[in-house]
Structure 1
Amino acid sequence: MTDEQPQPAVLDSPSPDARRWAMFAHLAGFAGYLFPFVGNLIAPLLVWQLKKDSDPFVDDQGKEALNFQISVSLAAILSFMLMVVLVGFVLIAVVVAGAVVLMIIAAIKVNEGKAYRYPFCWRIIK
């Protein structure tokens, strides 16, 4: 008898359909620019709820996109409150620019079939 360590399961690459829906979940955050404070939360939530049962990759990335949009919304609210002392104007610009860049990076990565984790994200939904 040998003491062999079990090998990790080899994960298959997500299907093109799963990659597409995961990409839509990340890009859905741009709806917040059309409908401020609700679009960026509702759109990823809808994509995730509609497609989470179709593929584990879509479920994982839908939760990640929604958690990121919740974090961005909280940061934006804090920035608006800090506009009273003027520092909020700079902070909101940083939040918006960072969110745009990170959503595009996430969409590109998941379209390549790689799971993406946002930095500085509060993961409320597990």
Structure 2
Amino acid sequence: MEVLTQNAKKVDTQLLMLTHLSQLTTYVTGFGGFVIPLIIWLTKKDEIADMNEHGKSIINFQITMLLSALLSIPLIFAFGLGILTLIFIGVLSFVLPIVNAVRASKGESPSLFCTIEFIK
């Protein structure tokens, strides 16, 4: 018989996976990739196991990608380097949420590749 304490959290890898995949709504709405995971993280971080870790990594990743995109705009005038950086950011912003969704579905920690840790 398993006894659950007051601090026991529910394991929900599907919600973790959907939280990572919700970042892809940026390509549809422009801002949903930040807002939707933020809302899910803030409402479920005390109920779902590992939601706090995954939510923080998603928000840190989104802030890092936004700042990188903003910093690469002036680099467009420096030999077109900003265009290459924007392409890299676009590919990374599409691939990493999918990779982290797969990792979340397996119960693994998210990958923090190219992410500045703003929220600890």
TM-score category, normalised to shorter length: 0.7 to 0.9
Structure 1: how far apart are the matches of 2:24 and 2:72? 19
State the partner residue of 1:83.
76
Question: Does the C-alpha gap of structure 1 residues 88 and 68 become closer, same or farther in structure 2, counting only changes over 3 Å?
Answer: same
User: Does 1:119 pair with 2:78?
Assistant: no
- Larger Rg: 1 or 2? 1
Tell me which of 55, 60, 64 is aligned to 1:62.
55
8 Å CA contact 1:19, 1:113 repeated in 2: yes
Q: Which residue of 1 aligns with 2:20?
A: 26
Greater relative contact order, per chain length (Cα 8 Å cut-off, separation 6+) = 2
Q: Which amino acid aligns with 1:96?
A: G
Among residues 23, 35, 55, which one is paired with 1:42 in the alignment? 35
**Size of the alignment, in residue pairs?**
110
- Cα distance, 1:19 vs. partner? 0.9
Give me the TM-score of the superposition, normalised by structure 1: 0.79
Deviations 1:32-69 (A, max 9, x none): 11222x22221211111121111231121111111111
In 2: Cα distance, 1:81 partner to 1:24 partner: 34
Identical-residue share of aligned pairs (%) = 27
Q: Give structure 2 stretches of 5+ with no counterpart.
A: 1-9
**Structure 1 residue 80 displacement after superposition:** 2.0
Would you say the 8 A contact 1:106–1:116 is kept in 2?
yes
